[in-house]
Amino acid sequence: MTTASAQSAAFFTPVRIPLDPELVEIRHYLHAHPERSFKEFETSKYLAAQLRDHGVEVMDLPKPLETGVIGLIHGTANGSDAKGPRVGLRADIDGLPVREETGLPYASVNDGVMHACGHDFHMTGLLGAAFWLAAHRDRFAGTVKIVFQPAEELGEGARRCIEAGVADDLDAIVGTHNNPNYAPGEVAVGVEPMMAGCVKFRVTLHATGTHAGYPHKGTGPIEALASMILSLQTIVSRNISPFHAVVLSITEVHGGDVWNVVPAEAGFQGTVRFFDRADQEIVQRRFRDEVESTARAYGINADIDWNVLQQPLVGDPKLSQILADDVHAYAKLRPIRPSMAGEDFEEFSNRIPVAFAFIGSNGEPGCPDWHSPNFIGLDGAIEPAVNFYANAALRLLSELA
């Protein structure tokens, strides 16, 4: 920390907020009522009602947002509720197209949709922090903006919020993600990369279809597709340092729908995960070379759609270290174990400083991870999430002042 940070740290004491049983009920309700990305209408109404019931001002939703909730809590420590820095606290709110198989008594009642990534925890933790901050305005100066963000799972929600101006008046913003690889009561926050950059790619092959008995009269794409998939698996192993974490996965293949016809079109899609932007550029260049050269060899054409959904998520070094120093007051600080999952919270870092934490949500050996129909997060994760959000707001407002 800088000298100024060390001095302000001497005057800041983290709070420890006990678990409110109401939050367990809220979490169970949210878990049972998930909604898909950009369709979180009932979730948004519920969140807004909870905020209003606890004295939080709810803002009109700025365009182009149609779902999500924005709340404001003004501190009164300096005798004014309109002065001072402004810090954002963000939680994502969307569920996944997964049919739940946990057997929990509060399992999803919306068939084919599940909070399989634990966004019900994120919402509950942020609600709990908002309730406490609204009831203790005299403990801080400045403003806390509560941001319930839609559509994280599509990788588009944070960008939509930024386009709507949500971050324009903020000095910093804080986010969290539950992590079943840590136990409840454990928190990981720091200066290391936390979540991977994410690429979504799609390749469409255009050929000349023909009768399966006369393959020489066409230029079928199936053989080319198979060759491409095999050759693409060598990109990471032969072009990226073994000390760098990069993953290239083919996740969907399609081509043809009749047993005796060589199709005129086929394709595949998948993802690349990375922690170094230079590695992503290498993979992208080699990917294009492999696909285009193979297509030429088979006499067909290839269209490549390469979409960088997110860059790697790395918290601001100063803010992240400051928040890590406070964790001991309410949880166990653990080392960051980077995740190959992506997080569109990273988008905010292009505008303002960000800090991010993993909140332990299970910790049992072999427990199902994110996006599994058997994913189970434990209620013990709620209290550390509330404490991290609330203390992050108090500490950053103090630092920024």
How many angstroms separate the CA atoms of 265 and 284, rounded? 23
Task: Tell me if 33 is assigned to a ligand binding site.
Answer: no
Question: How many CB atoms sit inside 10 A of residue 365's CB?
Answer: 5
Helix (H, G, I), strand (E, B) or coil at 90: strand
Structure tokens at 258: 């009749």
CA angle 349, 351, 354 (to 5 degrees): 35
Residue with tokens 């400051």: 322
Beta strand segments in 64-162, E: 69-74, 86-92, 143-149
CB 93 within 8 A of CB 127: no
Q: Are 340 and 169 in contact (CB under 8 A)?
A: no
Q: Which two tokens stand for residue 46?
A: 């519920």
d(CA 265, CA 79): 68
Residues 6+ apart with CB under 8 A from 361: 118, 121, 178, 179, 180, 182, 184, 377, 378, 381
To the question of whether residue 328 is assigned a binding role by annotation, the answer is no
Q: Are 146 and 54 in contact (CB under 8 A)?
A: no
Contact present, 201 and 269 (Cβ < 8 Å): yes
In the 3-class helix/strand/coil scheme, how is 325-354 assigned residue by residue? HHHHHCCEECCCCCECCCCHHHHHHHCCCE
CB 204 within 8 A of CB 267: yes
| 161 known member of a binding site | no
Is 31 marked as binding a ligand?
no
According to DSSP, residue 249 is labeled E
Q: What are the structure tokens assigned to 153, written together?
A: 């799972």
Residue positions in the annotated binding site for Mn(2+)? 117, 119, 153, 177, 371
Residue positions in the annotated binding site? 117, 119, 153, 177, 371
